């Protein structure tokens, strides 16, 4: 089946035709490295990792270039560095913050089964490209210098706002536009600004004497240009980036290169929410990937990365998704069964079933793809249908939710205390207590009962044996 993708710019699902099938090019906005990533941030990483895998499958692994940047210069980083390391020179403090965050981000997304992108450019290593673009924009009349800032002149672009389809008033409100006296128009946005003393600073473009630093939007335009060219196939990110970030990227890149489009497809994942509200650092309703992964020991509220990944794939990428414990439990239970059905069957490589690829080729229809996995699991009939089990194994690996290992540890795929322990968690304690009681070791039996009580579990001894329940 022909790959079809939904494009935010044209508001339509269209057949995907790469500009160059020998080099399919995708750019996705990556993290600003000032703090640990939360699971909301994991959503675009996982969604576009699946798209990366699909493109590699369709065009060949060597024919896809996937770029995900790292924003390592930004107001939030500077602020955080000052708070966290007040005794250090600012540049050193920034280095510590970005290095730690960067390392954690990579550990987190690897645990979530994501492939490394083809390139992960850092903003601070591409200042030259940013300056070159800014010079072009000023020379062409799309930008101007004002009090050591360089601003993009929004009025120079007649179809500014096409991506977000907002009225000017809405845009002004939505962007929380900074009204500065040097702006010719409140909508004009910063390409370059002067650095305050101690802040990261580079020689400024356009003959500005004071050293400065780039605005966020120009970082992505410049890195996309460097690695993917003036125009490329797919640009992705979370839905919150449509305005102003992607709108401004389009304005910069199209004006600098005089191109009709920056990317042929603009793709945006929906929000990951908690009780209907976007998960965000600013609202405080977030949980970090790092916390969820944890050490995976019993009695903790921690999950295997593959469970988190599968949970993320249970909703269509454009739909909002509520992040709940029930979702994680469902993902864990399905994954356990699927892995049981696949263990040992991954030694003979089989082609990925066409029906599965077709489901994903329909604008990454995750629910349809997973419903195919469910049907495959049913027809594998507890490992008795070798062909089907081999296909299961191939799909789980392809999707990045299994690496072929057999796990003997029942806790490996997660355990949750908020929902309460499962029979398989508690039964070994009860058996150990029975053994102790039979040996008349009542002190040990009581110790085990107390141990369970600490976990919120109460025991009932009946003539048919011991049952347990969560204390109310
Ligand atoms: P940030 O570090 O805030 O720039 O976000 C990095 C990426 O995560 C961007 O693509 C955002 O759109 C995305 N993102 C942030 N919060 C959420 C959320 N709650 N649900 C889905 N995507 C999100
Ligand atoms: Zn970006």
pTM of the model: 0.86
In a domain, 227, yes or no: yes
In a domain, 437, yes or no: yes
Coil, strand or helix at 236: strand
* Together in a domain, 370 and 446: no
In a domain, 41, yes or no: yes
pLDDT for residue 472? 64
* Together in a domain, 138 and 123: yes
Closest atom of ligand 1 to CA, residue 321:
20
* Together in a domain, 154 and 262: yes
* Together in a domain, 264 and 277: no
> Which of 383, 410, 437 is the endpoint of a domain?
410
C-alpha 421/C-alpha 423 separation (Å) is 7
Pocket test for ligand 1, best of 34, 39, 42, 44 (most atoms within 8 A of CB): 44
Detail the DSSP E strand segments found in 217-332: 232-238, 263-269, 272-274, 277-278, 321-322
* Together in a domain, 141 and 192: yes
In a domain, 416, yes or no: no
- With tokens 């356009």, the residue in question is 206
Asked if residues 56 and 40 have their Cβ atoms less than 8 Å apart, the reply is no
Question: What is the tens place of the pLDDT at every residue in 249-303?
Answer: 999 999 999 999 999 999 999 999 998 999 998 898 999 999 888 754 444 468 8
* Together in a domain, 260 and 312: no
Q: How many domains does the chain have?
A: 3
DSSP assignments along 309-330, one per residue: HHHHTTS-TTS-EE--HHHHHH
* Together in a domain, 27 and 159: yes
pLDDT for residue 412? 52
* Together in a domain, 393 and 442: no
> Which of 410, 433, 459 is the endpoint of a domain?
410
**Cβ of 236 less than 6 Å from ligand 1:** no
pLDDT for residue 421? 64
**Cβ of 322 less than 6 Å from ligand 1:** no
In a domain, 344, yes or no: yes
* Together in a domain, 162 and 245: yes
Question: What is the tens place of the pLDDT at every residue in 324-367?
Answer: 989 998 999 999 889 988 988 998 989 999 999 999 999 999 99
Q: Compute the distance from residue 248 Cα to the ligand 2 centre, in Å.
A: 9
Pocket test for ligand 1, best of 41, 101, 321 (most atoms within 8 A of CB): 41
**CATH classification at residue 376:** 1.20.120.640
| Pairing verdict, β 24-28 and 232-238 | parallel
Detail the DSSP E strand segments found in 8-97: 12-15, 24-28, 64-68
For ligand 1, atom 7, the nearest C-alpha belongs to: 41
> Which of 358, 387, 410 is the endpoint of a domain?
410
Kind and range of the H or E run holding 213: strand 212-214
Q: Compute the distance from residue 157 Cα to the ligand 1 centre, in Å.
A: 27
Q: Which residue range forms the structural domain that includes residue 442? A: 423-470
pLDDT for residue 417? 32
**Cβ of 48 less than 6 Å from ligand 1:** no
Q: Compute the distance from residue 263 Cα to the ligand 2 centre, in Å.
A: 13
In a domain, 279, yes or no: yes
**CATH classification at residue 56:** 3.40.50.620
**Cβ of 278 less than 6 Å from ligand 1:** yes
* Together in a domain, 225 and 277: no
- Residue ranges in 316-409 assigned as alpha helix (H): 325-342, 354-361, 366-380, 386-399
pLDDT for residue 390? 95
* Together in a domain, 225 and 98: yes
DSSP assignments along 133-192, one per residue: HHHHHHHTTSEEEETTEEEE-GGG-TTTTTTTT--HHHHHHHTT----TT-SSTT-EEEE
**Cβ of 213 less than 6 Å from ligand 1:** no
Low-confidence stretches of the chain (pLDDT beneath 70): 174-177, 295-301, 407-421, 472
In a domain, 418, yes or no: no
- With tokens 């062909």, the residue in question is 387
In a domain, 118, yes or no: yes
* Together in a domain, 252 and 295: no
**Cβ of 130 less than 6 Å from ligand 1:** no
CA neighbours closer than 13 Å in the CB half-sphere of residue 408 = 0
Asked if residues 145 and 206 have their Cβ atoms less than 8 Å apart, the reply is yes
């Amino acid at each position: 089946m022909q790959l079809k993708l939904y494009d935010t710019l044209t508001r339509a699902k269209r057949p995907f035709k790469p500009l160059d099938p020998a080099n399919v090019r995708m750019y996705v906005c990556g993290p600003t490295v000032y703090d640990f990533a939360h699971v909301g941030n994991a959503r675009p990483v996982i969604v576009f990792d699946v798209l990366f895998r699909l493109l590699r499958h369709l065009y060949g692994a060597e024919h896809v270039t996937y770029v995900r940047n790292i924003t390592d210069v930004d107001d939030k980083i500077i602020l955080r560095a000052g708070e966290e390391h007040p005794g250090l020179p600012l540049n050193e403090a920034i280095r510590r913050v970005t290095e730690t965050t960067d390392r954690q981000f990579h550990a987190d997304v690897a645990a979530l089964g994501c492939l490394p992108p083809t390139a992960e450019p850092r903003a601070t290593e591409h200042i030259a490209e940013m300056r070159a673009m800014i010079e072009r924009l000023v020379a062409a009349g799309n930008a101007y210098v004002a009090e050591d800032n360089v601003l993009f002149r929004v009025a120079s672009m007649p179809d500014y706002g096409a991506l977000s389809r907002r009225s000017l008033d809405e845009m002004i409100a939505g962007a929380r536009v900074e009204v500065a006296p040097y702006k010719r128009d409140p909508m004009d946005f910063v390409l370059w600004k002067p650095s305050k003393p101690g802040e990261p600073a580079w020689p400024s473009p356009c003959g500005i004497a004071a050293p400065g630093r780039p605005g966020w939007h120009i970082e992505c335009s410049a890195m996309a240009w460097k690695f993917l060219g003036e125009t490329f196939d797919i640009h992705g990110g979370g839905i919150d980036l449509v305005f102003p970030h992607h709108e401004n990227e389009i304005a910069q890149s199209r004006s600098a290169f005089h191109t009709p489009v920056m990317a042929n497809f603009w793709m945006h994942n929906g929000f990951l929410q908690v009780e209907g509200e976007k998960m965000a650092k600013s609202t405080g309703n977030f949980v970090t990937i790092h916390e969820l992964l944890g050490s995976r020991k019993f009695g903790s509220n921690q999950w295997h990365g593959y469970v988190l990944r599968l949970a993320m794939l249970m909703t269509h990428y454009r739909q909002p998704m509520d992040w709940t414990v029930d979702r994680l439990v469902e993902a864990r239970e399905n994954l356990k069964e699927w892995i049981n059905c696949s263990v040992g069957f991954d030694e003979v490589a089989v082609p990925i079933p066409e029906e599965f690829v077709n489901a994903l080729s329909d604008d990454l229809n995750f629910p349809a793809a997973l419903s195919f996995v469910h049907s495959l699991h049913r027809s594998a009939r507890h490992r008795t249908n070798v062909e089907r089990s081999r296909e299961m194994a191939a799909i789980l690996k392809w999707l990045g939710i299994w690496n072929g290992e057999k796990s003997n540890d029942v806790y490996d795929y997660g355990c949750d205390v908020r929902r309460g322990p499962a029979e398989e968690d508690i039964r070994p304690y009860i058996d150990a207590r029975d053994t102790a009681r039979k040996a008349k070791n009542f002190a040990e039996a009581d110790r085990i009962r107390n141990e369970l009580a600490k976990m919120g579990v109460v025991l009932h001894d009946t003539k048919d044996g011991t049952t347990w329940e969560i204390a109310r």
